[in-house]
A and B are shown apart, each in its own frame.
Chain A
């Protein structure tokens, strides 16, 4: 972070999965994910997994390993079935957006 700069950082990343685009917008404040939006034209079942995942990521440390664990755990516990994208596509999209926010080296 630039000294004297704002602790608020925004990252946006578009990841193209084999089928569908995953577009993540993340707001990071003091190294913590304050808000996140996972949008796009992908197919995932049950659909509301997306909103649960966003909810679970809010307040989490903006750190790739922690993010990866949350995504994987929720994929498993919700028996998520995606078409044309995988758990790795979602992880890549989210971690890349956090990196864009500049909070991760």
Chain B
């Protein structure tokens, strides 16, 4: 295992199987809390998926007909917040760290999120945190949201993950995700705060995924004061991810029916294969 003064970097994805990569995400979070892995930055993507927040009703968020037509998988994550659409033009990043005691949500949405803002600044983009957990950038047309984030915490362990729209198909995004009437009625939010854009379109220049990934690694290495070391998933994480996949992330009870996490716990533990 890496030393605590190193930031473990995992570039680990399964783009065609979002159920598997969300199972891995929870495995990584559990491994961190069991002190099986050091602080970890993960970079990943999906080919075509809608990721629901823990508390959301699938039928309220997803246009199922459109999802079917486009071959979009619908997967739930273990963190709260809203639904997002991922394709290969959307970079997903996660930072999971052992942090201060009683850091609370201030540590998550303040300290940890500032690392991602720093990454955009390294790329020469004027980025800001708005509305608690959205990241917006200055563009010639005004401020645009390019990233949404979600997070969880347990004792002094913290996980923040988010998206970065680089060159996502926004037509598919807006047609597969439903926007609630209550949100539309709140004009301030629908007209300004939730106007999303791709990083590449908004600034009229192209950013390469590899440069963005470099910037995210540099930024988190800097704010955590740790040297970045590229690593592979551990045996424990992969084993746990397989159990989580079999008992939870491959099940409609989790992805579509919004059953509580504890409903799956017995099956996850029973699976000793």
Interface residues of A (CB under 8 A from B): 14-16, 19-21, 23, 37-48, 50-51, 81, 83-84
Contact of B183 among A21, A46, A47, A84 (CB under 8 A): A21
User: Inside 8 A of B104's CB, which chain A residues have their CB?
Assistant: 81
Contact of A83 among B60, B82, B109, B262 (CB under 8 A): B109
* Closest Cβ neighbor of B54 among chain A residues: A47
Give the complex CA separation of A38 and B57 in angstroms: 9
Contact of B80 among A15, A23, A37, A47 (CB under 8 A): A47
Q: Taking the complex as formed, is B261 at the interface, i.e. its CB lies under 8 A from any CB of chain A?
A: yes
Instruction: Fill in one digit per residue for B65-105: 1 if any A CB lies within 8 Å of its CB, else 0.
Output: 00000000000001111110000000000000000000011
User: Inside 8 A of B114's CB, which chain A residues have their CB?
Assistant: none
Instruction: Fill in one digit per residue for B186-228: 1 if any A CB lies within 8 Å of its CB, else 0.
Output: 1000000000000000000000000000000000000000000
Give the complex CA separation of A51 and B131 in angstroms: 26
What are 27 A-B pairs at a CB distance below 8 A? Answer: A14-B182, A16-B182, A16-B183, A20-B82, A21-B180, A23-B180, A39-B56, A39-B57, A40-B55, A41-B55, A41-B80, A41-B81, A43-B105, A43-B151, A44-B80, A45-B153, A46-B154, A47-B54, A47-B55, A47-B79, A47-B152, A48-B260, A48-B261, A50-B55, A81-B105, A83-B105, A83-B133
- What is the minimal beta-carbon distance from B29 to any residue of chain A, in angstroms? 12
- What is the minimal beta-carbon distance from B248 to any residue of chain A, in angstroms? 14
Give the complex CA separation of A42 and B56 in angstroms: 9
* Closest Cβ neighbor of B193 among chain A residues: A19
User: Inside 8 A of B185's CB, which chain A residues have their CB?
Assistant: 16
* Closest Cβ neighbor of B154 among chain A residues: A46
Are B56 and A41 in contact, CB atoms less than 8 angstroms apart?
Answer: yes
Give the complex CA separation of A39 and B54 in angstroms: 9
The interface residues of chain B, by DSSP majority, are classed as loop
User: Contact size class for B?
Assistant: 20 to 34
Give the complex CA separation of A48 and B258 in angstroms: 12
* Closest Cβ neighbor of B151 among chain A residues: A43
User: Inside 8 A of B131's CB, which chain A residues have their CB?
Assistant: 19, 84
Q: Taking the complex as formed, is B38 at the interface, i.e. its CB lies under 8 A from any CB of chain A?
A: no
Are B260 and A38 in contact, CB atoms less than 8 angstroms apart?
Answer: no
User: Inside 8 A of B150's CB, which chain A residues have their CB?
Assistant: 43
Instruction: Fill in one digit per residue for B150-163: 1 if any A CB lies within 8 Å of its CB, else 0.
Output: 11111000000000
Q: A38-B55, A42-B55, A48-B260 are in contact. List 10 more A-B contacts (CB 8 A).
A: A14-B182, A19-B131, A19-B132, A23-B57, A37-B57, A43-B81, A47-B55, A47-B79, A51-B260, A83-B132
Are A45 and B261 in contact, CB atoms less than 8 angstroms apart?
Answer: no
Are B261 and A43 in contact, CB atoms less than 8 angstroms apart?
Answer: no
Are B181 and A14 in contact, CB atoms less than 8 angstroms apart?
Answer: yes
Give the complex CA separation of A41 and B84 in angstroms: 11
Q: Taking the complex as formed, is B53 at the interface, i.e. its CB lies under 8 A from any CB of chain A?
A: yes
Give the complex CA separation of A72 and B152 in angstroms: 22
User: Inside 8 A of A20's CB, which chain B residues have their CB?
Assistant: 81-82
* Closest Cβ neighbor of A50 among chain B residues: B55
- What is the minimal beta-carbon distance from B156 to any residue of chain A, in angstroms? 13
Are B152 and A40 in contact, CB atoms less than 8 angstroms apart?
Answer: no
- What is the minimal beta-carbon distance from B263 to any residue of chain A, in angstroms? 9
* Closest Cβ neighbor of B57 among chain A residues: A39
Give the complex CA separation of A15 and B186 in angstroms: 11
Give the complex CA separation of A69 and B182 in angstroms: 27
Q: Give the 9 A-B CB pairs with smallest separation, nearest first.
A: A41-B82, A51-B260, A14-B182, A43-B80, A39-B57, A16-B182, A83-B105, A41-B53, A84-B132
